[in-house]
Chain A
Amino acid sequence: MKDDTIHLPLAAVGPATERPISIAIVAMGGQGGGVLTDWIVKLAEDQNWVAQSTSVPGVAQRTGATIYYVEMMPPLDGRKPILAQMPTPGDVDVVIASEFMEAGRSILRGIVTPKRTTLIASNHRSLSVTEKIAPGEGIADNSAVTGAIGVVAKREIVFNMEELAVRNGSVISSAMFGALAASGALPFAREAYLDIIRKSGKGVEGSIRTFEAAMRHVEPDDTEGGPAATELPAQAAPSSEMAAASPPNLGPSAPIETPAESSFDGDPRLKPLLARIQSLPVEARAMADAGLRKVVDYQDVAYGAEYLDLLDGLARDDAAAGGGAHAFAFTTNAAKYLANAMCYDDVIRVADLKTRMQRRDRIEKDMGLRDGQVMQTTEFMHPRMEEVNGLLPAGLGRWIEARPKLFAWLDKRVSKGRRVKTYSLPWFAALYIMGGMRFLRRRSLRHQGEVAHRDQWLATAQRLLNQNYALAVEVLQFQRLVKGYSDTHARGMSKFDKVMSTVTLLETRDDAADWARRLRDAAVKDGSEKQLDGTIATIRTFV
């Protein structure tokens, strides 16, 4: 129990003037916080301690953040301790967080303090709605929580308890119970914990397996030398990596893997193209390699050559503009965003992806399909005349476009929600044929539009390159805003046009690149575009 006991000069009280052991469980509704609380209470009661738990289910029960609080203490000469109903900042012995940002929230509540608190936290993430609705990257930065835990917790036990529980066929509360047992924060034997689980009556086997796995994780056997209690949540923390996606510097906008030249697996048709990559600046090669593979996979080898032709030109401009001093950020970003621009999303691509072998394999794995079970998938598709018309040869497409009545008549026939049973023969055949229509693509109306967009975008970037290197890189990254199909695509294009036209207004300013980055960030973070429009309004006040 606590060592900073307050000894009162009161008679007959003796050494029991300590405070009870206090445990706060921070969880989200439906995460089993209630079950864990009950277990802890029973654990204490079974040792003839007095335990009290409180909680506020209220509205927080539906996925909101909530807190359960337990206090426990042995009785003294038949007198029960008087136990508080909520945690006091700076005076909590154990905080158990069932999710990593909730661990962060508990720190902000002041209930994790260096002198006192053992923090037991699962470092998996359950994203909050505000993180999900950003039209791009909006995930909170895990490293901030890791950093704070490092300075505020007396002791930390942090690992992916969710994953451990699932792996052992149980739920996270069992893993947290195991971590609590292993922490030694409560003066109870391991057997006492197991007793509680056995008496719980539901899913006992999985719970015990998970409990023991969690214990082993925290206290690895000396002989085995297992993993340490605390792992950096690097793998579970995409956001810390993603922080580089929106860099204030000129770095490429995603982590780069080691160049792949050594691992070439030998499709002879690809080899000459891959060789061409070697003429690019070394910094850009890995991205160009990934880009090239994507483009070839999307269309064909000739399209890959086209990609490299364009990229070569951009790299030459980059070198001429002194790109070496910027680690050839322009070429690297061009390698990435040009590939994305060339692989626009159309009906052919969707049909192709949906009919691939790997796709079915992936779904079967996701669904945990077992032998003797049969699986079918149904796609929710809503093609419109725009998509169909885009596929037609440019001349014909434009001819139809010029006749709104005809277009509307056709749209009526085409545009409707369609439930497509992927793995029934007629639908698969239809998708298969559509996915094989790549030969139509480069003569299509859609392709013409995409090429025009691409050329204009690259021309702007190239024009700016000599004038303001950083700005030119930012302009390349604007391509990130164009994504998706149908309405989503239209919305992305409109955002792209907005930022592009705004940037040209201020291209002569020294801080133009900063503004460009702000515009892009605003467009990526806010679905309503209010933030973007606000930034544009601000810019218009000074240009």
Chain B
Amino acid sequence: MAERSFAREVEDLRLGDGEEFRGEGILAITKALLQSGVSYVGGYQGSPISHLMDVLADAKDVLDELGVNFQSSANEATAAAMLSASVMYPLRGAVAWKSTVGTNVASDALANLASGGVTGGAMVIVGEDYGEGSSIMQERTHAFAMKSQMWLLDPRPDHTCIVDMIEKGFQLSEASNTPVMLEVRVRSCHMHGSFIAKDNVKPSFTLQDALNNPKRDLSRIVLPPAAYVQEQEKIKVRMPAAIDFIHEHKLNEYFGPQENAKTGIVIQGGMYNNVIRALQYLGLSDAYGTLKLPIYCMNVTYPVIDTEVAEFCRGKDAVLMVEEGQPEYLEQAINTVLRRRDINTKVAGKDVLPMGGDYTAQVLMEGIQAFLEQHDPMILGNRPPVPDARPVLDLPEVKRLRDVVPPRPPGLCTGCPERPIFASMKLVEEELGEHHVSADIGCHLFSILPPFNIGATTMGFGLGPASTSAFNVKGAKKSIAIMGDGGFWHNGLTSGIGNAVFNKHDGVFIIVDNFYSSATGGQDIPSSRAWNKNRQTNNSITKAVEGIGVNWVRQIDRTYDVTKMRDTLREALTSTEEGPKVIVASSECMLNKQRRVKPLVNKAIKGGERVVKERYGVDEDVCTGDHACMRLSGCPSLSVKVLDDPLRDDPVAAIDNTCVACGNCGEVAEAAVLCPSFFRADVIHNPTKWDQFKAKWTMKVITYLQRRRAGRRVQVAVA
């Protein structure tokens, strides 16, 4: 069950010809796939593409009607390999993932796919996670497109354009027998916009047709000598076919006055909106894109259409290439085009724009201004005042703020079952000293940040265990590797655990099993415990680990048991048994659990059933404000508050009403022998007669005792 339900939004996928679609970019992409007549879709979740997977999962009915097969792929390589269905058959298919990380994983399959070529249109939708807010290393997908020779579409951030490019992309793929990549940046994926829909298309040639009439063609398989022929075919046949199609169907766009311009701007499609804003600041455009200088907008960034580039540049003194990130592939390509034709238009790019980082409107404005000052100062005319926040940032009041505003790193959610795992690790660390910890990708990666500060490296999804493999040496402290259930099924079972078994790695491997692919939005994975009508869930991680040959396995079914967690960890670290020590720490992702359980509880209470609701609290007069509990927790609902007591300097712990009663704070206080200020309050809704009777008489006695003592005590309270 995914974090966000698109049950309502998927209805928009049924919109027909002429109706207006309004919504998130990722939904528009899904609709475009259906309008293109795909037979199959697949992919792997990860920001910014997670919602696409969630939409498809929720759109089962719509997909069934159209005969579209949707697979939640095991990983991106699986998804890429799925496109092989389009090699022999006229089947359109699309897969999606987070790039560049997903493309890294998929690249073997992609290279094979691109070499053999396709018959039906094959498209990879990549969520380009680049720039501010990105969660991964800053690289570009462009290099993959070039090296494998797949066409790279980079449409303007506009729903109409994106949808159009998807439809044309399939045609392009078929016209050139080449798989196509369509790149959408993070903000475009989550962008709200609109477009005019078309009817969905049911594929005329179906997957069943293909299975019933199997075909094979040796020349499409990457085997010598076919592989050498394929290389030539790419260069001599497919590339020219693609260039013709792109040119003929005008996939690239021209904006502004094309005649008699001294200068012009060449842009990647994705840069368009921010470029227009930058030009607006410089007085060279209005809000509707009425321009004073020409733009050549490359909605296809690979291949570069030499003739179009040459035509655009010819007669101009200089052009500016706006290309985000490094290296400057397009700038180099344009220079080559111009040199070969001996066109002496100057090409600016990374000389006036930064080599790396987000191309915000501000950055673009500065770059374009520098370019025009150098090559066409007249066009800038009387410079209008441009937005400038620097004077504000230089104010002493704002400078002072710099030291005050605390960083706000992402952290584990309230009640997260992973928190007690890391609290236990901290406790063991106090006993046995620090260890080398290899972290992995997933929610548990937040353990790298305060308050836990655990984990030295992350090498990729599911590669936590593999990245300790060098430390397979005797005598020293054991290495610790952490991996999530998502990473485990993505590849970690073989690359990490299988590898450790085979090499007799005497390390400790913690598999964090929270029943979902939680970090990407709670999608189901093979070990999910939920019943899923479309997938086989409940496949045990422990069994898989044992099956691959691990002898020392401990399954912990309630991670909140900090004492047990700590003792198991200690046992693993001090064990003399040979081979990997695997701890599978399982508890349901609290975010998902709450979503599942909360409505049921509320319903039960309303229906008059006896329900015990739990919440934790802190006795503020018992708490002394040391905050040791916070250093072992970081729970959002556990905070501090300042008491109105002149004798107290330090704020005390306090738990707010977002507490979900996971029990971590109490367990930690107990295991770490902190202080007795935590308590759990159980409130019985709709108590039984017996509950009420018992409570009434117990409280009578208790109140008597309390009164008795209060009466004897010296009254110190100020009236």
Contact = CB atoms under 8 A, between A and B. Distances in A.
B684 interface: yes
Contacts of B706: 355-357
B392 A488 contact: no
A238 B646 contact: no
B286 A10 contact: yes
B621 A353 contact: yes
Size category of the A interface is 35 or more
Contacts of A293: 716-718
A385 B339 CA distance: 85
Contact of B408 (A37, A51, A128, A429): A128
Interface string B251-277: 000000000000000000000111011
A52 B679 contact: no
Interface stretch (A13-21, A205-213, A466-474, A506-514): A13-21
Nearest to B698: A425
A253 B649 CA distance: 7
A236 B189 CA distance: 38
Contact of A63 (B192, B406, B408): B408
Given A89-B389, A90-B388, A265-B715, A58 B135 contact: yes
A213 B397 CA distance: 32
Contact of A425 (B402, B410, B701): B701
A526 to B, nearest CB: 10
Contact of B404 (A16, A135, A144, A384): A144
Nearest to B615: A367
A496 B640 CA distance: 23
B392 A417 contact: no
B684 A267 contact: no
Given A84-B361, A141-B404, A485-B676, A63 B410 contact: yes
A107 interface: yes
Given A133-B630, A140-B406, A265-B715, A4 B395 contact: no
Contacts of B622: 345, 350, 353-354
B409 A148 contact: no
B647 A378 contact: no
Contacts of A282: none
Interface string A416-438: 01000011110011001001100
Contacts of A131: 406, 640
A135 B290 CA distance: 59
B559 to A, nearest CB: 17
B443 interface: yes
B681 interface: yes
A325 interface: no
Given A290-B647, A297-B713, A369-B683, A134 B627 contact: yes
Nearest to B639: A127
Contacts of B385: 4
A64 B446 CA distance: 11
Contacts of A260: 718
B393 interface: yes
A543 interface: no
A380 B410 contact: no
A245 interface: yes
Given A340-B647, A428-B705, A82 B187 contact: no
A245 B649 contact: yes
A423 B702 CA distance: 8
A254 B432 CA distance: 40
A90 B387 contact: yes
Given A129-B451, A380-B666, A527 B627 contact: yes
A503 interface: no
B687 interface: yes
Interface in B465-498: none
Nearest to A41: B192
B201 interface: no
Contact of B292 (A10, A60, A150, A359): A10
Nearest to A99: B408
A111 to B, nearest CB: 7
Interface in A273-329: 286-287, 290-291, 293-294, 296-297, 300-301
Interface in B653-711: 666-667, 669-676, 678-687, 691-692, 695, 698-699, 701-703, 705-707, 709-710
A91, A114, A147 — which one has the most chain B CB atoms within 10 A of its CB? A91
Given A265-B715, A423-B702, A13 B290 contact: yes
A79 interface: yes
Nearest to B395: A151
A88 B277 contact: yes
Contacts of B691: 374
A135 B626 CA distance: 4
A448 interface: no
Interface in A95-129: 101-102, 104-105, 107-108, 110-114, 126-129
A443 interface: no
Nearest to B650: A136
Given A417-B670, A424-B698, A339 B647 contact: yes
A86 interface: yes
Contacts of B395: 148, 151-152
Nearest to B658: A30
Interface string A370-399: 001111111111101000000000000000
B443, B649, B650, B705 — which one has the most chain A CB atoms within 10 A of its CB? B649
A186 interface: no
A255 B646 contact: yes
B186 A485 contact: no
Contact of A294 (B135, B647, B687): B647
B628 A62 contact: no
Given A62-B412, A86-B187, A269-B714, A367 B683 contact: yes
B280 A19 contact: yes
A147 B715 contact: no
Contact of B190 (A57, A384, A422): A57
A133 B631 contact: yes
A357 B707 contact: yes
Contacts of B647: 254, 287, 290-291, 294, 336, 339-340
B646 A257 contact: yes
Contact of B675 (A136, A267, A357, A484): A484
B571 interface: no
A380 B392 contact: no
B679 A379 contact: yes
Contacts of A138: 627
A331 B187 CA distance: 61
Contact of A127 (B398, B640, B675, B701): B640
A475 to B, nearest CB: 15
Contact of A238 (B409, B651, B680): B651
26 contacts: A6-B281, A13-B288, A16-B288, A56-B134, A58-B186, A63-B636, A80-B288, A81-B287, A82-B288, A85-B274, A91-B387, A108-B393, A132-B627, A132-B630, A132-B640, A136-B626, A136-B627, A138-B627, A140-B405, A148-B398, A245-B649, A265-B717, A355-B709, A375-B681, A375-B684, A425-B702
Interface of B: 22, 47-48, 129, 132-135, 157-158, 186-188, 190-193, 272-274, 276-277, 280-281, 283-290, 292, 358, 360-362, 365, 384-385, 387-390, 392-393, 395, 397-398, 400-402, 404-413, 443, 446, 449-451, 519, 563, 615, 617, 619, 621-622, 624-628, 630-631, 634, 636, 638-642, 645-651, 666-667, 669-676, 678-687, 691-692, 695, 698-699, 701-703, 705-707, 709-710, 713-719
| Minimum-distance CB pairs A-B, first 5 | A110-B389, A56-B133, A90-B387, A64-B410, A265-B719
Given A45-B22, A113-B387, A148-B398, 14 more contacts: A56-B186, A57-B47, A88-B361, A88-B362, A101-B406, A129-B630, A133-B631, A135-B628, A148-B395, A255-B646, A291-B647, A377-B680, A378-B680, A380-B669
